[in-house]
Amino acid sequence: MDKNKMKIMREKGESIREILYLWLPEMIFATMFISLPPIIDSYIIASLKSTTTYGALGMANNFIHSLLKFAEAIPVATMIIIGHNNGAKNYEECGKDLGDTFWTTIILGLMQFLAISFGANYIFSWLGVPEKMIQVGAPFLKLKSFGILLTFISLGFFAFMKALKNTKIPMAIQITGTGFFVLFDYILVHGKFGFSQLGLTGSALATIIQYSITIVLAILYILTNQDYKKYFTKTFFCFFNFKKVLHLLNLSWPIMIDKSSIAWSYVWLSKMIAPLGKYAISSFDIIKNLERFAFLPAVAFAQIIVFLVSNRLGAKDPVGAKANIKKVMLMTSVLVSMSLIFLCYNSKYFIKLFDPKNKLTDFASPVLIIISLLVVFDFIQLILAGALRGAGDVRTVMWVRFFCCLLFFGPLSYFLSGLNIQNSVYKFALVYGSFYLNTGIIGLIYLLRIKTPKWQNKI
């Protein structure tokens, strides 16, 4: 990089130090929200030494992940709107936006809860898993969906704070909630301290406890923080503006589709992998969890780039917005590469943590290394998608992801899964690798979009 470009990166947008200051709490938050609970939960369930139970957890978690991505849409739209209003110093509008977000997340959360309550058995049957996994996994998914309802609500509060560039408190609250999850997951799954051994049911109950506590802490902080008084003429849940809710949904539904397109790709992957048997199903869950853990720096950067771009464009500074994108992309590539190298070097050690019977390690370890080489495609599209969302260009993100997943990834993965390949490791890696080839194409299209001026004025 020449000296002129280095000078621009120092002078435009936030400094690297400022970005890292915002990123670190978000990194910890992402660890506590996305990666650590499922990894610890998988470790606790693996200690039951039942491949069927572990496989059922993995299949359910693929679907739960898609629900979480659906749940993130409203908060992301909220960050865009509130970040823009905060940058323009329209403080009272920010408080009203929180009220609209609160009621919207409750309505959508109830809708998904009811849908999963009645459809869990059909979901597992469609995935094509063994009958024993259906019997174990469907009741777990039904109860877990209530925890997703609570997650919907908590993410709305976190979005409000993050849009105001407060990433520390969401981090602290999420750490506290995750601590309670780990405690009750261990107690209820194994039946410690006088409780009955509940297995997967205990895991679902631990999630409900976690997010009940999270919601209470978030509300208490927002209502008692003196710095937030300027945002509220009255308590946030008194605000409900139907037109603004429609605007929020209008901004959210493309995000729902784009996030769901990627999340549902994992569900589709699990369906393509299911015919390889229960060991492949369980290996898929292990690889996916470890990969997401190594990928956390990118997830955190993708979150903060939304409000960094939103605030810069709200302040009429598109040059600063682009400079922030370049800095975030550079830091993401360095940190993700380091984490993946460490993961691959110690792949067998990490896989054995979830394989007490030592039946999966020889299968999963080489696949993990192959998949790690392709992850670069995913973090590029992830950061660029966050930048486009921050500019309000959510429909570009939606259509690109939707059509790439539907018209390219779906047919390609289906074709590869049907090939007569005797080596199951190679077949598994080919099917899984098609996902990252798809994200590479998505990232290229996003990059071409950002090179045009059209993406900057979409809010």
* pLDDT of 28 above 50: yes
**Mind listing the pLDDT tens digit for each residue in 349-383?**
888 888 877 777 888 888 888 888 888 888 899 99
- What's the total number of domains in the chain? 1
Say how many C-beta atoms besides its own lie within 10 A of residue 224's C-beta. Answer: 9
pLDDT of residue 4 exceeding 70, the answer is no
360: number of Cβ within 10 Å:
24
Q: Looking at this protein, which amino acid is placed at residue 123?
A: I
- Assess whether pLDDT exceeds 70 at residue 326: yes
Q: What is the mean pLDDT of residues 156-170?
A: 84
Cα torsion angle, 51, 207, 287, 141, sign: positive
Tally Cβ neighbours within 10 Å of residue 113: 18
Position 459 pLDDT exceeds 90: no
Query: Which tokens sit at 87?
Result: 């940058």
Render pLDDT for 218-251 as a digit per residue (tens, 0 to 9).
999 988 888 888 887 777 776 677 777 777 777 7
> Which residues, 6+ apart, have CB-to-CB distance to 253 below 8 Å?
73
In angstroms, rounded to a whole number, what is the distance separating the alpha carbons of residues 154 and 211? 7
6 has a pLDDT exceeding 50: no
On the CB side of 70, how many CA atoms lie within 13 Å of its CA? 18
Residue with the bigger pLDDT between 404 and 264: it is: 404
Q: What mean pLDDT comes out for the span 132-156?
A: 87
pLDDT for 294: 86
Q: Express the helix, strand and coil content of the chain in percent, nearest 5 each.
A: 85, 0, 15
Domain, as residue range, for 91: 3-456
Q: Per-residue pLDDT for 458 more than 60? A: no
Q: What is the largest CA-CA distance in the chain?
A: 67
- The predicted model gives 195-206 an average pLDDT of 89
Using alpha carbons only, what angle is made at residue 229 by residues 225 and 233, rounded to the nearest 5 degrees?
Answer: 140
CB within 8 Å of 337: residues ≥ 6 apart: 376
Cα distance between residue 158 and residue 171, in whole Å: 9
